[in-house]
Structure 1
Amino acid sequence: MRVLYLHQHYSGPAGATATRSHALAGALVARGHRVTLACGHYDGAVTGLSGAFRGGRREGVLRGLRLVEFDIPCGNAQGLGGRGLSFGRYAASAARLALAEKWDLVIASSTPLTVLLPALLVRRLRGTPFLYEMRDPWPELPRALGGVPGWALAGMGALANAACRNAAAVVALSEGMAGTALARGADPGRVHVVPNGCDLDLFGPHLSPWRPPEAAPWEMLAVYAGAHGRANGLDALLEAAAVLRARQERRIRLLLVGEGSEKPRLRALAASRGLHNVTFLPPMPKRQLASLLAGAQLGVQCLAPVPEFAELTAPNKLMDYLAAGLPVVANLPGRAARLLAEGPCGIATPPGDAAALAEALCWMADNPALRQGMGRSAREQAVRRWDRRLLAGRFAEIVEGAVAPAPLEALAAA
């Protein structure tokens, strides 16, 4: 069948951002489907396409996947207005593509939520079914974080309701997200959970390690790799670093890798407080990140102390840490804490408690043998539960089921 996969923030493996859509689209191609993936130009993403944009787009076929890249920049460093304009431009361009060709199914991968507009439009005008892939529940998370105008939240709510009620299938990244789809009117029989998975070939203890020159050989390297935005609550890491410095703890280095609107302020704050135990690095390609994690001793998961984050988020970075065989220190309860308790493969501290975060880091430094055992448990959990190839196969089955004809008995009953 012909599938149009809409994901504004797509990246291939050479990029510095999440590659879930690449893996899922590849699984569909491997099963014989003709897949077109349409994306924008996201900071840190690498599509693999080259050459000039013509008419605002460029395209090509890479390993059987047709890629259409629109010349629409977007990134975490943009302000709210800039991102909003980017979201609108992408929705308009994707709608034109959706209406220009015949599709058996449209996959709309959110965020941003505006990616659902082309899917709803082509369903209304052409009767084409669509699958809603919920990576983040909007407007639930923006509302919880604050700072978004009421009119925007109302518009998001109406769009999310329409998507959940009209989608042939909803794929959520966590049980909590699936619950929001049900609350918005989705048919329970059409709601599925396919979590983020681990790339067990790209990440793992089998790789050659790399450490930045700032990291001394005796230091336990604790890596946070991800966005530096308001939702990530990285002030907590700087506060923990300040606690460690006050204790004259010299065995631990915090390494923050990534980009975002908060990064300039965070760097200035770390410098003003003399936090020499903190190092900032720019985003790096996944393969380089994999080598960095192989040379680190600990992964760090951090989010702002927002109660809704406990069950409504599914950070990709956590899967990378587990795949790399790293124990994890996190500052949030809920789903992530339960994953770390299994094994166990990490420590979850209370949200907003920088002292507890610092104490967990010290415990990891004090107990290298137990820490390494947690790392082995992390890799074992990644292999046993989160192999991306198995999850991609499950996603492909859901896609095929979304366009399958109704059983004869159901048609007779109708």
Structure 2
Amino acid sequence: MQKVLYISLSFVDVRETTSLYSDLIQEFLTNGHDVLVLAPHFYDGRKSELVVEGGIKILRVPVSGLFSNNKYIKGLSNVLLPFLYKRALKKLKISLDFDLVMMPTPPITLLNLALWVKNKSKAKFYLILRDIFPQNAIDLKIMKPNGLIHTYFRNKEIALYDLADKIGCMSPANIAYIEKHNPKVDKTKLHLLPNWENSPQWDENLDENEFRAKYGLNNKIVAIYGGNIGLPQRMENIIELAQHCSELEDLVFFLVGFGTEHEKIAALIKSLNLKNVILIESVPKPEYVKFIQISDIGLISLNQDFTIPNFPSKANSYYGYKKPILASVDVNTDFGIILEEIGAGFWSEAGDVASLKNNLLKLYKDPELRKKMGENGYQYMKNNLLTEHAYRTILKEIN
């Protein structure tokens, strides 16, 4: 298998940063595949163009409003996206002779484009299932169940599973969910494709004392959260925990990220006058690596309203840098169960702040336990969750 088309909702410029998917594409390139990425332009007003970014061929297509805060503009942009992609492929005369078409969810609106390319190329189609939509939107009360919009997207979801030759799922609970709610799906398509990450790149020149001093973290136990701050994460779980830990003067909750709920969380921290929480916006990955390196505990939070089994990818960064994990998650994910099975941290049901604090205190009071759990997570990642593992899984399944 040589020619691969990767269809994406977004794709980073690897000259500036990396991501889950850019790491995977780089692994395909390293193994000799000819890969084309189909992705939006970062800026409006640009023309569709074929570019090479850090050795990766990308067809960048201008798409207005794709990440708008207005849900109607964003929704319309997602619906138009496959038409814009198809037009760009035709305009630039891209040969449709791919051996493999890969696409993650979200979004499912790219179904018709994937179908078109698959049929034209006589390619196999591999679906990387990272998001179960539209059910997640219903869980978060963004969409009403059984309405016209829900029915439209649900039909797209069913057709997408039918189109896929293979479907890579994040965890056993994801496989079980798809089987239960989509009984017509061929079960032989479904298999495990856990979230992946490259081996960690430690900053060997980091002066920890100097870096801690920069953010007022000297002589502090740091519990870090890094990632999106939106409805799926429900960061109120972490803020409530911080409120209940105000007596622990050497404990700091350090939150790094941005999202639709960032301003709301910032206002909540201010209104509660929490002195043990530091909230900053997203930083470049090299800077974020420094934050993780100097931290003591990695935080995970998921919205308790989820009925779908989400599986947070940020856990891999904590594993890679040997940080034990404290998780507040819904009861439908199997993340917490797997976390405790590998001995890499503790989990509590989202909303149960007493249980969450009790688990936090176990890590807070015991440096050796933190070290042991951090090492357990690292070994688990090294043996199961590297990008090369994901690559080999995809090739094995598709062949």
Q: TM-score, normalised by structure 2?
A: 0.87
Out of 100, 103, 121, the residue aligned to residue 97 of structure 2 is 103
What is the Cα deviation at residue 10 of structure 1? Answer: 1.9
Q: Which residue of 1 aligns with 2:108?
A: 113
The 8 Å contact of residues 4 and 103 in structure 1, kept in 2 or not, is answered as no
What code does the residue aligned with 2:81 have?
Y
Taking every aligned residue pair, what percent have the same amino acid on both sides?
20
Which of 135, 143, 150 is the matching residue for 1:140? 135
Distance 1:222 1:67 in 2: 37
* 1:6-405 aligned within 5 A: 6-13=7-14, 19-41=19-41, 54-55=46-47, 57-62=48-53, 64-72=55-63, 78-98=69-89, 100-101=93-94, 102-104=96-98, 105-123=100-118, 128-149=123-144, 150-182=147-179, 183-184=181-182, 185-202=184-201, 208=206, 209=208, 210-211=211-212, 213-245=214-246, 248-309=247-308, 312-332=309-329, 333=331, 334-399=333-398, 401=399
Q: Deviations over 1:149-191 (max 9, x none)?
A: 4322211110111111122222222223333444433322222
Secondary structure in 1 matching 2:224:
strand
Q: Deviations over 1:12-66 (max 9, x none)?
A: 55666x7222122222223332111011256xxxxxxxx99642x3432245421
What is the Cα deviation at residue 205 of structure 1?
8.6
Deviations 1:85-111 (A, max 9, x none): 332343222222455531323222211
SS at match of 2:63: strand
Q: 1:218 to 1:323 in 2, by over 3 A?
A: same
CA deviation map 1:118-147 (0-9, x unaligned): 112334666554222211111222222222
Quote the Cα distance in structure 1 between the aligned partners of 2:152 and 2:113.
16
2:12, 2:344 → 1: CA distance? 29
Query: 1:24·1:395 contact (CA, 8 Å) conserved in 2?
Result: no
Structure 2 partner of 1:45 = none
Give, as a single letter, the amino acid of the residue that structure 1 aligns with 2:136. L
Question: C-alpha distance in 2, partners of 1:156/1:300?
Answer: 32
Measured in 2, the distance between the counterparts of 1:212 and 1:115 equals: 47
The 1:58/1:291 distance shift into structure 2, 3 A limit, reads farther
Contact 1:132 1:169 in 2 (8 A): yes
In the alignment, is the contact (CA less than 8 A) between 1:215 and 1:253 conserved in 2? no
The number of equivalent residue pairs is 385
Q: Give the deviation of 1:345 after TM superposition.
A: 1.4
Q: Specify which structure has the bigger relative contact order, considering alpha-carbon pairs within 8 angstroms and separated by 6 or more residues.
A: 1
User: Unaligned 5+ residue runs, structure 2?
Assistant: none
Amino acid at match of 2:130: R
Question: Secondary structure of the residue that 2:52 maps to in structure 1?
Answer: strand
Give the conservation status (yes or no) of the 8 Å contact 1:109–1:115.
no
Given that 1:144 and 1:306 are in contact with CA atoms closer than 8 Å, whether structure 2 keeps it comes out as: yes
**More moved, 219-228 vs 114-123:** 114-123
Partner Cα distance (2:295, 2:49) in 1: 38
- Cα 1:390–1:118 change in 2 (3 A) is same
CA contact (8 A) 1:76 1:229 kept: no
- Whole-Å separation in 2 of the counterparts to 1:40 and 1:211: 38
- 1:194-241 superposed Cα distances (whole Å, 9 cap, x missing partner): 111232133x59673544733331211111111111111101111111
307 and 229 in structure 1: CA distance in 2 versus 1, 3 angstrom threshold: closer
Distance 1:127 1:23 in 2: 26
Q: Secondary structure at the match of 1:137?
A: coil
Tell me the alpha carbon deviations over residues 280-326 of structure 1, each in whole angstroms, 9 at most, x when there is no partner: 111122222112100100100001112525xx212110111111100
Shift in CA distance, 346/41, structure 1 to aligned 2, threshold 3 Å: farther
- Distance change >3 Å, CA 142–CA 355, structure 1 → 2: same
Q: Secondary structure at the match of 1:359?
A: helix
The 1-side partners of 2:291 and 2:65 are apart by 26
- AA aligned to 1:34 is D
Residues 96, 214 of structure 1: alpha-carbon distance in 2 compared, 3 angstrom cutoff: same
- Please give the alpha-carbon distance, in whole angstroms, between the structure 1 residues aligned to 2:213 and 2:263: 20
TM-score normalised to the size of structure 1? Answer: 0.84
Structural RMSD (CA): 2.6
Equivalent residue number for residue 410 of structure 1? none
Moved more, 141-150 or 235-244: 141-150
Between the aligned partners of 1:280 and 1:317, the Cα distance in structure 2 is 17
Q: Structure 2 CA distance, aligned partners of 1:308 and 1:72?
A: 32
Deviation string, structure 1 residues 241-266 (Cα, Å, up to 9, x no partner): 11112xx2212111111111111011
Question: Given that residues 199 and 320 in structure 1 are in contact (C-alpha distance below 8 angstroms), is that contact kept between their aligned partners in structure 2?
Answer: no
**Relative to structure 2, which stretch is displaced further, 178-187 or 70-79?**
70-79
| Partner of residue 3, structure 2 | 2
Structure 1 window deviating more from structure 2 (327-336 vs 261-270): it is 327-336
Q: Structure 2: which amino acid aligns with 1:22?
A: S
CA–CA distance in structure 2, aligned partners of residues 345 and 207 of structure 1: 27
Higher alpha-carbon deviation: 178-187 or 272-281: 178-187
Structure 1: where are the runs of 5+ without partners?
Answer: 43-50, 402-414
